[in-house]
Amino acid sequence: MTTPAARGFRMPGEWVPHTRCWMAWPCRPETWPEGRFDAATQAYAEVARAIAEFEPVTMVCDPADVAEASLACGAGGSGIQILPVPLSDSWIRDTGPSFVTDGRGALAGVHWGFNAWGGNYAECGKDREVGRLVLEHLGLERFRAPLVMEGGSFHVDGEGTLITTEQCLLNPNRNPHLSRDEIEQHLKDHLGVNTVIWLGEGYQDDETDGHIDEIACFARPGVVLALTTDDPADPNFKIFHDNLDRLSRARDAHGRALEVVTLPQPARRDENGMRLTLSYTNLYIANGGVVAPSFEDPHDDEAFRILRKVFADREVIQVPALDIVRGGGGIHCITQQQPAP
């Protein structure tokens, strides 16, 4: 099988120019119990409108919800298009394609295997096909990766470096037949990287088994944003500090030490016996802008100041994301950038 890397493809950093952003309209009320589904749809629409200030947005939408999504997003003149696609859920970072470019004008997509985050949910059959349907709509080549994996489980710098967590990618509920070295090789073959930086665990109670976008992300080559807390009693304290230690010792594909910029962890909130994964690293980098979360939290202003400094060449907009997080993810989880080839 010819791999993307063998063909000269690689996944660019998320800050390169985009043709558009992809999102998926909420369609599973069970994801947001206690009557919070309507609030979630409005939160998705607000994120879509914020991103549309910087670049076009295509909202894939279950055919039964086209009218609702169009009305909520102001589709058409707002820079938001609606594309009917059968859906099981609405986390397109994990179910949609990861776009790769070859530097010569070609764009393609990597389609990962999907099993609902290690079998956490039974009804995911439609979401297994979202990546294929998006790529067919665009008329792009599809590389079918031999990995069960989600797009939110890794982050790349576009220059050969990838960060991920052992908790997620080495979890036996994804690829029990593959060793660490084999998984790493598949990442290299399909994303065009040559250096994988492994962090340990992810956010406490993260139902994705430790997705990287809840705890760390590249802001640009050589610079990583990472969540931290100074409360030794917080279960995330040891997790975050172990990851900070790993990042401090890591070297990227060019042999550079990483500059690590820390972001404060929002105050703990529990719902239905589970901790909400509130994280300022779960953001979307758009053309000329950054759409970042706010949580009605005292740390919102500090996070905003840090992000404005890190992304000094972009406009930073904070969008309320608490109603998204209640479903199990954040702004990065509900978006997927399509780089300009």
Catalytic positions, written as ranges? 333
Which amino acid is present at 93? R
Question: 154-156 and 161-165: which strand pairing?
Answer: antiparallel
Residue 4 backbone dihedrals phi, psi, to 5 degrees: -55, -45
Q: Where are the beta strands (DSSP E) in the chain?
A: 18-24, 57-61, 80-84, 98-101, 107-113, 141-148, 154-156, 161-165, 195-199, 216-220, 223-228, 259-264, 270-271, 274-275, 284-286, 289-294, 315-320, 336-339
Cα distances (angstroms) measured from residue 333 to each of 23, 153, 177, 220, 324: 9, 10, 27, 19, 9
Give Cβ neighbours of residue 216 (< 8 Å, ≥ 6 apart): 155, 163, 199, 224, 225, 226, 227, 243, 247, 281
Percent of the chain that is helix, strand, coil (3-state, to 5):
30, 25, 40
User: How far is residue 123's CA from residue 321's CA, in Å, rounded to a whole number?
Assistant: 25
Cα–Cα distance list, 123 to 41, 117, 118, 276 (Å): 20, 12, 12, 23
Torsions phi, psi for 188 (to 5 deg):
-65, -40
